[in-house]
Structure 1
Amino acid sequence: MPMRTFQHTVTPADTAVTLGTGDLEVLATPRLITWCESAAFELSRPHADADHTTVGTFVKLEHVKASPVGAEVSVSCAQPISDGRRLVCFVTVTGTNGETVASGEVHRALVDRDRFMSKCRPTG
Structure 2
Amino acid sequence: MKTNIFIRLFVPRIVKIFYLISLPRREYKGNCCLATLIPLSGIYPNFGMGALGTGIQAIQLVAAGLAPCPFVSPCLAADKRVCYYPRMNFDTVLQPGLRGEKTAAVTEQNTARSLGSGGLAVFATPSLVALLEGACVQAVDGLLLEGYSTVGTDVRVKHLAATPVGMSVRAEGELTEVDGRRLAFRVAAFDEAGKIGEGTHERFIVDNGKFLAKAEAKRTEAAAVCGDR
TM-score where L is the length of structure 2 = 0.50
C-alpha distance in 2, partners of 1:24/1:88? 32
Identity over aligned pairs, percent: 32
Correspondence for 2:152: 56
Give the Cα separation in 1 of the matches to 2:164 and 2:197. Answer: 14
Q: Deviations over 1:91-118 (max 9, x none)?
A: 1111212x21000112110111222122
SS of 1:79's equivalent in the other structure is: strand
Partner of 2:190: 94
Q: 1:54 to 1:113 in 2, by over 3 A?
A: same
1:117 partner amino acid: L
Give the structure 2 partner of residue 69 of structure 1. 165
- One of 94, 98, 103 as aligned partner of 2:198: 103
Give CA-to-partner distance per residue, 1:39-78, whole Å, 9 cap, x none. Answer: 1111121452113211111111000100000112211111
Alignment counterpart, residue 19 of structure 1, candidates 115, 118, 122: 115
Note the alpha carbon deviations across 1:1-44, whole angstroms, 9 max, x for none.
Answer: 45433222211111111001111110000011111111111112
In 2, the alpha carbon distance for the partners of 1:110 and 1:64 equals 29
**Structure 1 residues 118 and 4 mapped into 2: Cα distance closer, same or farther (>3 Å)?**
closer
**Does structure 1 conserve the Cα–Cα contact (< 8 Å) formed by 2:103 and 2:131?**
no
Does the C-alpha gap of structure 1 residues 102 and 29 become closer, same or farther in structure 2, counting only changes over 3 Å?
same
- 1:120 and 2:228 aligned: no
Which structure is higher in strand share? 1
Return the structure number with greater relative CO, CA threshold 8 A, min gap 6.
Answer: 1
CA distance in 2 between partners of 1:5 and 1:64 (Å): 19
Say which one has the larger Rg.
Answer: 2
Amino acid at match of 1:116: F
Q: Which runs of 5+ in 2 are unaligned?
A: 1-96, 225-229
Contact 1:40-1:80 within 8 A present in 2 as well: no
TM-score by length of 1: 0.89
Aligned to 1:85: 181
Report the alpha carbon displacement of residue 79 of structure 1 after superposing the two structures with TM.
3.4
| Structure 1 segments unaligned to the other structure (5+ residues) | none
Kindly indicate whether the alpha-carbon contact (under 8 Å) linking 1:48 and 1:54 is maintained by their aligned counterparts in 2.
Answer: no
Q: Choose between structure 1 and 2: higher helix proportion.
A: 2
Q: Which secondary structure does the structure 1 equivalent of 2:136 belong to?
A: helix
- Equivalent position SS for 2:154: strand
Q: CA RMSD in A?
A: 1.6
Q: How does 1:4-43 map to 2 (within 5 A)?
A: 4-43=100-139
Determine the C-alpha separation between the residues in 2 that align with 1:32 and 1:21: 12
